[in-house]
Amino acid sequence: MKTQVAIIGAGPAGLLLSHLLHLRGVESVVIETRSRADIEATIRAGVLEQGTMDILSEAGVGERMRAEGALHHGFELAFGGQRHRVDLHGLTGKSITVYPQHEVIKDLVAARLAAGGDLRFEVGAVSLKDIDTGKPGVSFTQGGERYAIEADFVVGCDGFHGVTRPSMPGEGRQDFQRVYPFGWFGILVESAPSSEELIYARHERGFALVSTRSPTVQRLYFQCDPADHVDNWSDDRIWNELHLRLENNDGWKVNEGKIFQKGIIGMRSFVSTPMQHGRLFLAGDAAHIVPPTGAKGMNLAISDVRILSEGLDSFYRTGGEALLNGYTETALKRVWRAEYFSWWMTSMLHTFQDASAFERQVQRAELDNVVASRAMMTALAENYVGAF
């Protein structure tokens, strides 16, 4: 088969890119190794920056986000026995929406299918060919048959473990990585939210986070050993840990409920550059990973495909390749700022077992500085909402 843009991966990046191209009259095919049911059921974080909210709305896929997402004008930093509110809207004029990633995916899948988009799920043995030519290709299997796509461009939106980044030439490539010595133990709980806004807590026992997924489901995290196992944590042990890390003497308590999902995620910062070679481009987690503390992962992916869609639109309208040639440089400006912010939030809020007594006091002083200084609070808020 032939198409203009072959997209590997049906996460938020691949699906939104396909839809943005459709709105500009550019054809695409999206292939995905998982089933539609799988991608629509995989629950992941969903803190949407103002710019992400705007892009989804402008693309005509923001109706459910606006109706069902939780619009937040701030969040809280908890440490030293007190909570301090970060007034995002008051400091920046912008807000965030808590709307899970799988719900964004549902909206995008529905929009692509309604527009007659070519989405192919449950494919296997994906490989790339002729990426140095003007007609790169993708081959894959589906239903026991082998297929090939000939395209003008191939875009890898297939995540950190996908096939596209390893297909990039090694010469001139640089990978930057930091693996953190801790992970997050995450749970989903059937209960009313414990707080109207997110709470980021630093405690001697480790970081904790209070979030929401819906009026009846909470998402809670606490710092843990990434090599630990969920079987080592009974419900009672989990609740005891969360109470210890989150509660002070002001009477506020975490709402308990039925825990229906547990998991441990490792944490890393990663950037691979360049994000393009010839007519092969990378977007989202295929090119960069951020620790979740800064809530930047999906927002970066959406920023990437916005930039890429504009470059592809310019190519097909005018034949000009300037925007496409500058894709890596343009995208990395945003990526590295988000990497910095996510590293900073992670470093400021987590307990490092090898930290000296001096380093622990400096960490506390940094938090005190942030909540005491309007300038530092504004910088935090600007980065959190993506107001730059």
Active site residues: 72, 200, 292, 296, 384
> CA 334 to CA 345: how far, in whole Å?
17
> CA 350 to CA 184: how far, in whole Å?
10
Among residues 44, 12, 17, 43, which one has the least CA distance to residue 28? 17
> CA 91 to CA 100: how far, in whole Å?
25
Buried b (16+ CB within 10 A) or exposed e, 230-246: eeebeeeebbebbeebb
Contacts of 188 (CB under 8 A, 6+ apart): 43, 213, 217, 218, 219, 259, 260, 261
Among residues 329, 7, 306, which one has the least CA distance to residue 136? 7
Residue 263 β-bridge partners: 186
Tokens representing 27 are 């054809």
CA distances to 59, 79, 260, 353 from 203, in Å? 41, 6, 26, 13
